[in-house]
Amino acid sequence: MDFDLIYQTYFKDVFLYLRGISNSESVAEEITQETFAKALKALDRFDGKKDIKAWLFTIAKNTYFTYCKRQIIYVENETVDNIAAPQFDYTLSVEDEETAFRVHQFLHNMKEPYKEVFSLRVFGELSFEKIAFLFNKSPGWARVVFYRAKVQIKEYMEVLDSEQNIL
């Protein structure tokens, strides 16, 4: 396999996925580079039976989680909650900064696996089949979890809208 071609083809996808779950462009850049370094070392073990994008996303996710664990150890004043807040500005158009912040808060507090499935689908642009592969579940499971995450976000946005209309 030509690693340069893999890097050129999937760098942006991996970077956008990591930026979505890390809420930090610099962290996403760092982890993306680390992801591809690990992929290069493990490329001879990749059998080609699975989708390479899903394989790279798995490496990226695990590398990011390792990064978060290191941050807990080395940074006293910062929590995983601050490190792992996903961005949401790609999927919703919000009218003001306060509303955007509330949506970010909601996503930040969304329970797993809803948050990760939503991020993989929206930010990572993965198919339900690839998401299911990452979780070792069925594509139907991935669809249901994604749908439920969207319903939670929609209901939250409706509450926000009704609160703003009252004021």
DSSP notation for 115-144 = HHHHHHHHTS---HHHHHHHHTS-HHHHHH
Domain shared by 20 and 93, yes or no? no
Domain shared by 92 and 139, yes or no? yes
Q: What is the CATH number of the domain that holds 121?
A: 1.10.10.10
Domain shared by 4 and 80, yes or no? yes
| DSSP letter assigned to residue 113 | T
Q: Is the pLDDT of residue 41 over 80?
A: yes
Put simply, whether the predicted model's pTM sits higher than 0.85 gets the answer no
User: Pick the residue with more confidence: 81 or 6?
Assistant: 6
Of 64, 85, 106, the last residue of a domain is 85
Q: How far is CA 87 from the centre of its chain?
A: 9
pLDDT score, position 78: 40
Quickly state the pLDDT bin for 105 (edges 50, 70, 90). Answer: confident
Distance between the two ends of the chain, CA-based, in angstroms?
59
Of 85, 112, 131, the last residue of a domain is 85
